[in-house]
Homo-oligomer: A and B are copies of this chain.
């Protein structure tokens, strides 16, 4: 394989980074309407579901049956092609909800979510898919239907093979069905937006939220000043709190609205006593909450309006979380229009974004592998949510020890000796 495909990114990058737009156009010209999506919903950032050389594309979008919802246990069984939001809407009538929520929920498929171990906005509260997926069915490289379908919360009979499939990016099998444990849908949701003088105040406030809001905290999102400026200016949105260096968006979900409000008010009162907390607003009315959420959820869209975006999805120890944004800003200097950071502070997941008017080789070269070296130095992860896909597979050693990579390659050879499942993805070229 030619490394130029991942570094010399002009064409390839365009095809991947604009939410799949370019790709969709190209493939739907010759194909059926259903060809708009490949493998799964095609919403990832690392080219994990994009054909690059000689691949055969398999669509699961017609496998969209929700087979059952167990009203007692809250377990939903559905086919891989179900759209995340559709399943969540279906669960509403039974009083349950999907344990994961992403910006792409309206188009991403549950099969792809499971194949990439998708995280999202509420992992903080409801945990990862490694915990929520109780069973799955997949078709392996030799055509075997691998039946790991269980709907039980506790089942210790042999190896947890399903967990190996979760996050394997389609390289060990094509997931066709899943059983997912769903939490009870909250009776009340509230949202607070705070403006803060520094990242250290944001971190202290997030820790206070974890302690004072405990079991009702369902989201803890961080937005820096540059991100906030981008989303308000480019999309003409209004930020309801005073401008500051940092912002925290805290969501609570619980079974008793009055209790939640009381906890949130006590938390806000206590927080406002801190000199670094500059302003705050509280919302529980759906339309107001939706307006505030837009400041976070539409950030990716706002950044795209500035030209080309280098999007990075990384995990870091909390103490290093924002230092990396500042370091990257210094490193790139005036070569870029914007270098900003936002993300799921509650679980250490940073979305580092760099905008330039047009794709720049120079910036690309300055970013990688420099950024991966910074991430590796503090034992972070070069891909928090989106997997390795095509773009990052040869950078795996920045986040995984050689012993783990070697075993991963052996398992791939065992389960897919001819490398026909999602080839050129996830597994590094050079062993």
- Shortest C-beta distance, A156 to chain B (Å), equals 5
Nearest residue (CB) in B for A382 is B157
Given A157-B381, A259-B259, A148 and B404 touching (CB < 8 A)? yes
The number of times this chain is found in the oligomer is 2
Complex Cα distance, B167 from A140, in Å, reads 22
Q: Is the CB of B167 within 8 A of A119?
A: no
Chain B residues positioned under 8 Å from A344 (CB to CB): 154
A408 at the interface (CB under 8 A from B): yes
Given A259-B256, A315-B153, A160 and B396 touching (CB < 8 A)? no
A-B contact pairs, 22 of them (CB 8 A): A70-B317, A72-B207, A73-B348, A119-B154, A123-B154, A147-B401, A152-B316, A152-B348, A152-B380, A154-B349, A155-B383, A155-B384, A156-B388, A157-B392, A158-B388, A160-B164, A161-B404, A163-B166, A186-B215, A214-B254, A215-B215, A215-B255
Binding site for B on A (CB under 8 A): 70, 72-74, 95, 116-117, 119, 123-124, 127-128, 130-132, 140, 144-161, 163-164, 166-168, 172, 184, 186-187, 203, 207, 210-216, 253-256, 259, 262-263, 315-319, 344, 347-349, 379-388, 392, 396, 399-401, 403-405, 407-408, 410-412, 414-415, 426-427
Apart from A255-B263, A410-B415, what 11 extra A-B contacts exist at CB < 8 Å?
A95-B211, A130-B163, A140-B407, A149-B401, A153-B315, A156-B383, A157-B399, A161-B408, A214-B255, A256-B263, A259-B263
